[in-house]
Amino acid sequence: MKEIFLIFIGAVLVNNFVLSYFLGICPFLGVSNRLESSLGMGMAVTFVMSLAAAITWLFYYLILVRFHIEFLEYVVFILVIASLVQIVEMFIKKYSPPLYQALGIYLPLITTNCAILGLALFMVLRQYNFVQSVIFGFATGLGFMLVLVAMAGIREEMDFSDIPAAFKGAPIVLITAGILALAFMGFSGLISG
Amino acid sequence: MSKKTIFLAGLWREHPNLRQLLGMCPTLAITTSVLNGFAMGTAVLFVLVFSSFMVALIKRLIPHQVRIAVYTIIIATFVTIADITLKAFSPQISRALGPYVPLIVVNCIILGRAEAFASRNSVGNSVLDALGMSLGFMWGLMAIGAVREILGRGTIFGFRLGIIHFRPWIIMLLPAGAFFVLGFVIAFMNFLDRQKRLKT
Amino acid sequence: MKYFRIVLVLLVTSLISAFCLSLVSSLAKARIENNEKTAIERAIYVVAPAAKKVEEKLTAGKTIYKLYDGQGNLIGYAFLAKGYGYQGEIKIICGLDKNLEKILGIEIIASSETPGLGAHINDSWFKKQFRGIKVLPRIVYSKRKSRQDNEIQAISGATISSRSVVEILNKEITKVRKILQP
């Protein structure tokens, strides 16, 4: 139980995917300008990540390891993730149009989101079991959403400031992310690994 | 488009990481030294050139609906080959680059070039484009790696820079430093662009 | 007809990919295993320079290396200890004397701790501390200079990395002692 708690806190705060491992930067730069879209993206990502963690775990241990074809890890993972996102999108579109309105547009962006593949890779590297993997996926998604929403809040405020021309757009977001990363470093003492 | 234009585009005008802002993950993650930047750049070069080559070669055989899936399989295959080769012949570099080598699979540059260029141009031009883009990516990585290594470690390519009273800014090697350096570098490039536009 | 073409293309692509990768993987496998083995061997000789012969034995699921000097006398044992540090996995080769009471030395063969802080566990001064350290009842660390013969000094600003090294060693040494002295 303690182990799961550590994984959770680790993924959300201490080793946040965006601020420590730089995974998910593309959507982070693109979507974090509005609070609403950040929440939407964050929820979509959390949902897909939890699902992806479960399914890639099953594929890896029940098929790849069983038949000693671990070298197909990257090919299988990316195909599974891409298909998963596609299926989830179709499912939501059909069974919940309002949900699709809120989240649907973000889903295709998630496929090339390094965060999901990164999640699957880390899960294998750290040899998490099934439950640990799903918690890890869920926590990583939450961590992503946390940072995205924090950034959106800051950016909405920054809209009212006078930013030098050269810094407008990506540069100021990156520098802000750096400050956020510094702040998050304060969490490093939380888990006495 | 002349062959020269195609090749040079990736080196400055359409620079993949510093202008198009693609491939940010490795640009931030592994640029703690120039050597790392060079190693990752080489890996990306291998994957990009061979993937573009393959895609351009078989572009007529691929039905439109599954093209992304096929490109992805091709890219993932070359990434796996690169990863296995690194693990076998240079375990130190493999460990330094870590999980970011397999993450080349989702590096937007590669799929982006396959879709935008290789799928509709000749094999020769596609390879030229891939070379230009990857060399551009590589110098971008090495530039950021240089800033972070010099300020964060006081070395370049591993060699001490004899500046005696300099205590390295460790922050440069940490994630926060990566964000700061990249932010400032892109700002600088924007500044150069503005100056150029103001002059004309 | 269109569906057939789509499925065929996907199938063929996947098969070619699987074939190529299986080929490359089997070609490189021997070399990759060899790299790992070389790293461990090199580390063992760093840990116990007096060792002239190393004998690898798999006992109770753990690979233990028996170290002999030039005259064929047993001088101790070496083994791999691994676990999680602050940033990633730490792999340590640890050498124990033949009575399993003192450490001959340690060498860290893999780590990805914070550069400038936890990464100092790779510094020779940190690793040298472990030479001659008593492992019973367990190795401990302190933030000031060590006073007991089973105590080492942690790196200032990198307590977690230092602690991880100590804990990884304690855990594995207990395991090895149980295997060799049941």
Q: Which residue of B has its CA nearest to A23?
A: B25
Q: Is A190 among the domain residues?
A: no
pLDDT in tens, C85-126: 766 778 899 999 888 888 998 998 888 777 667 778 888 888
pLDDT at residue A193 greater than cutoff 50: no
| Closest partner CB to C22 (pick from A15, A71, A192) | A71
List alpha helices for B24-104, DSSP H. 24-29, 34-58, 67-89, 91-97
Within a domain: residue A4?
no
Is residue A136 in some structural domain? yes
Domain hosting residue A109, numbered range: 16-183
- Concatenating the DSSP letter of every residue in chain A gives -HHHHHHHHIIIIIT-TTTTT-TTHHHHHHHTTSHHHHHHHHHHHHHHHHHHHHHHHHHIIIIITTTT-GGGHHHHHHHHHHHHHHHHHHHHHHH-HHHHHHHGGGHHHHHT-HHHHHHHHHHHHTT--HHHHHHHHHHHHHHHHHHHHHHHHHHHHHTTS---GGGTTHHHHHHHHHHHHHHHHGGGGSS--
pLDDT at site B80: 94
Task: Quote the percentage of chain B above a pLDDT of 90.
Answer: 35
Nearest CA in chain C to A68: C22
Q: Is B153 at the interface with chain C, CB within 8 A?
A: yes
pLDDT for the residue C3: 83
Residue A48 within a domain: yes
Q: Which residues contact A147 (CB under 8 A, 6 or more apart)?
A: A16, A18, A19, A28, A180
Q: What is the mean pLDDT of chain B?
A: 87
Q: Is A191 part of a structural domain of the chain? A: no
Higher pLDDT, A29 or B56: B56
- Chain A, 174 to 193: residues with Cβ < 8 Å from chain B are 174-175, 177-179, 181-182, 185
Q: Is residue C115 part of a domain?
A: yes
Q: Give per-residue pLDDT as tens, A125-165.
A: 888 899 999 999 999 999 999 998 999 988 888 888 888 88
- For residue B163, pLDDT over 80 is answered with no
The structure's pTM equals 0.85
In a domain, C15, yes or no: no
pLDDT tens string C132-181: 888 888 888 888 887 888 888 888 777 778 888 888 899 899 888 888 87
- Assess whether pLDDT exceeds 70 at residue B165: no
Higher-confidence position of C115 and B169: B169
pLDDT score at A186: 78
Q: How far apart are CA C56 and CA C66, in angstroms?
A: 6
Q: Is there a contact between C84 and A71 if contact means CB atoms under 8 Å apart? A: no
Please state the domain count of chain A.
Answer: 1
- Name the minimum distance, in Å, from the CA of A67 to any CA of chain C: 12
The pLDDT, as a whole number, for residue C2 is: 74
Q: What is the pLDDT of residue A51?
A: 93
Domain assignment present for residue A56? The answer is yes
| pLDDT of A190 | 65
What pLDDT, on a 0 to 100 scale, did the predictor assign at position A142? 93
At residue B84, the pLDDT reads 93
Q: Is the pLDDT of residue C47 over 50?
A: yes
Q: Which of B99, B96, B51 is nearest to B72 (CA)?
A: B51
Residue C33 lies in a domain: no
**Cβ separation B180–A118 shorter than 8 A:** no
User: ipTM greater than 0.90, yes or no?
Assistant: no
Residue A22 is assigned to a structural domain of this protein: yes
Lowest mean pLDDT among A106-120, B51-65, B165-179, C39-53: A106-120
> Is A23 a domain residue?
yes
As for how many domains chain C has, the answer is 1
> Is residue C121 included in any domain, yes or no?
yes
Q: What is the pLDDT of residues C66-84, one digit of tens each?
A: 888 888 888 899 999 988 7
Residue boundaries of the structural domains of chain B: 3-145
Strand, coil or helix: what is C83?
strand
Q: What is the per-residue pLDDT across B90-121, written as a single tens digit (0 to 9) for each?
A: 888 888 888 889 999 888 888 888 888 888 88
Range of the domain at C144: 45-180
- C23 in any annotated domain: no
Q: Identify from C8, C9, C21 which residue to disrupt to test chain B contact, counting B C-beta atoms within 10 A and taking the largest count.
A: C9
